[in-house]
Chain A
Amino acid sequence: MRKRHTPKDRLITVALHAALAAGLFFAAFPIYWMLSSSFKSNTEIFALPPTVLPKAFTLEAYAAILGDPVKLRFFFNSYFVAGAVTVLTVLIALLAAYGFSRFNFRGKGSLNTLIISTQTIPPITLLIPFFGLVVSYGIFDTYVALILTYLVFTLPYAILLMTGYLNTLPRDLDEAVAVDGGTSWTALWRVIVPISLPGVVATSVYTFLLCWNEFLFALTLTKSTSMRTVPIGIQLLMGQHAFEWNQMMAMSVLGSLPLLLIYLIAQRFFLAGMTAGSVK
Chain B
Amino acid sequence: MTRQKRSHHRLKRAVAPYLYLSPSLLIIGLLMLLPMVTVIGYSFQNSAVLRRDPSFAGLKHYQAIFADPVFWASLWHTLYFTCMSVVFHMTIGMVFALMLNSDRINPTLRNILRVLYILPWLFTAVIIAVIWRLLLEPNGVVNSVLMQMGIIGSKVEWFSSPETALHAVTFANIWAGYPLFMVSLLAGLQGIPKDFYEAADIDGAKAYQKLIFITIPQLMPIIISISLLDFIWTMQVFPLIWITTGGGPIYSTEVLSTYTYKLAFSSYNLSQASASAVVILLISLGLTLFYIRYQKAR
Interface residues of A (CB under 8 A from B): 12-13, 16-17, 19-20, 23-24, 26-28, 30-31, 33-34, 37, 45-46, 48-50, 92-93, 95-96, 98-100, 102-103, 105, 108, 111, 113-118, 120-133, 135, 148-149, 151-152, 155-156, 159, 183-184, 212-213, 215-216, 220, 230-231, 234-235, 238, 245, 248-249, 252, 255-256, 259-260, 263
A212 near B28 with CB under 8 A, answer: no
Q: How far is the CA of A131 from the CA of B50 in the complex (A)?
A: 11
A128 near B27 with CB under 8 A, answer: no
Indicate whether B220 reaches chain A with its CB closer than 8 angstroms: no
B120 near A99 with CB under 8 A, answer: no
B295 near A116 with CB under 8 A, answer: yes
Cβ distance A30 to chain B, nearest Cβ, rounded Å = 5
Cβ distance A209 to chain B, nearest Cβ, rounded Å = 8
Which of chain B's residues 6-60 have a Cβ closer than 8 Å to chain A? 12-14, 16-21, 23-25, 27-28, 31-32, 34-36, 38-39, 42, 48-49
Q: A23-B99, A95-B21, A99-B17 are in contact. Are A28 and B119 (CB under 8 A)?
A: yes
Q: A45-B134, A125-B281, A128-B274 are in contact. Are A105 and B17 (CB under 8 A)?
A: yes
Q: How far is the CA of A72 from the CA of B156 in the complex (A)?
A: 36
A20 near B27 with CB under 8 A, answer: no
Which of chain B's residues 107-159 have a Cβ closer than 8 Å to chain A? 109, 113, 116-120, 122-127, 130-135, 137, 139-141, 144-145, 148
B277 near A49 with CB under 8 A, answer: no
Knowing that A16-B99, A127-B261, A215-B238 touch, tell me 6 more A-B residue pairs with CB under 8 angstroms.
Answer: A16-B105, A30-B132, A31-B119, A45-B134, A125-B280, A128-B39
B124 near A30 with CB under 8 A, answer: no
A128 near B122 with CB under 8 A, answer: no
A255 near B27 with CB under 8 A, answer: no
Indicate whether B206 reaches chain A with its CB closer than 8 angstroms: no
Q: How far is the CA of A95 from the CA of B27 in the complex (A)?
A: 13
Indicate whether B291 reaches chain A with its CB closer than 8 angstroms: yes
A contacts with B: majority SS: helix
Cβ distance A188 to chain B, nearest Cβ, rounded Å = 8
Report the nearest A residue to B120, measured CB to CB.
A27
Contact of B32 among A19, A121, A159, A213 (CB under 8 A): A121
A216 near B238 with CB under 8 A, answer: yes
- Which residues of chain A are within 8 angstroms of B49 by Cβ–Cβ distance? 128, 131-132, 135
Q: How far is the CA of A96 from the CA of B26 in the complex (A)?
A: 11
- Which residues of chain B are within 8 angstroms of A115 by Cβ–Cβ distance? 24, 28
Which of chain B's residues 242-296 have a Cβ closer than 8 Å to chain A? 242-243, 256-257, 260-261, 264-265, 270, 273-274, 277-278, 280-281, 284-285, 287-289, 291-292, 295
Indicate whether B102 reaches chain A with its CB closer than 8 angstroms: yes
B17 near A23 with CB under 8 A, answer: no
Report the nearest A residue to B104, measured CB to CB.
A13
Q: How far is the CA of A151 from the CA of B264 in the complex (A)?
A: 23
Indicate whether B236 reaches chain A with its CB closer than 8 angstroms: yes
B contacts with A: majority SS: helix
B17 near A103 with CB under 8 A, answer: yes
Q: How far is the CA of A164 from the CA of B66 in the complex (A)?
A: 43
Q: How far is the CA of A49 from the CA of B149 in the complex (A)?
A: 12
Cβ distance B112 to chain A, nearest Cβ, rounded Å = 9
Q: Which residue, B131, B264, B278, has most C-beta atoms of chain A within 10 A? A: B131
Q: How far is the CA of A125 from the CA of B275 in the complex (A)?
A: 9
Indicate whether B169 reaches chain A with its CB closer than 8 angstroms: no
Tally of chain B residues near chain A (CB < 8 A):
87
- Which residues of chain A are within 8 angstroms of B281 by Cβ–Cβ distance? 121-122, 125
B243 near A238 with CB under 8 A, answer: yes
B102 near A16 with CB under 8 A, answer: yes
Cβ distance A200 to chain B, nearest Cβ, rounded Å = 16
- Which residues of chain A are within 8 angstroms of B105 by Cβ–Cβ distance? 16-17, 20
| Subset of 12 A-B contacts with CB under 8 Å | A19-B95, A31-B120, A33-B134, A93-B24, A99-B16, A100-B17, A105-B17, A121-B32, A132-B42, A230-B124, A256-B127, A259-B123
B261 near A148 with CB under 8 A, answer: no
Chain A proximity mask over B203-227: 1 for CB below 8 Å, otherwise 0: 0000000000000000000000000
Q: How far is the CA of A16 from the CA of B105 in the complex (A)?
A: 8
Q: How far is the CA of A45 from the CA of B123 in the complex (A)?
A: 21
- Which residues of chain A are within 8 angstroms of B113 by Cβ–Cβ distance? 20, 23-24
Indicate whether B232 reaches chain A with its CB closer than 8 angstroms: yes
- Which residues of chain A are within 8 angstroms of B48 by Cβ–Cβ distance? 132
Q: How far is the CA of A160 from the CA of B99 in the complex (A)?
A: 31
Indicate whether B96 reaches chain A with its CB closer than 8 angstroms: yes
- Which residues of chain A are within 8 angstroms of B42 by Cβ–Cβ distance? 128-129, 132
- Which residues of chain A are within 8 angstroms of B118 by Cβ–Cβ distance? 263
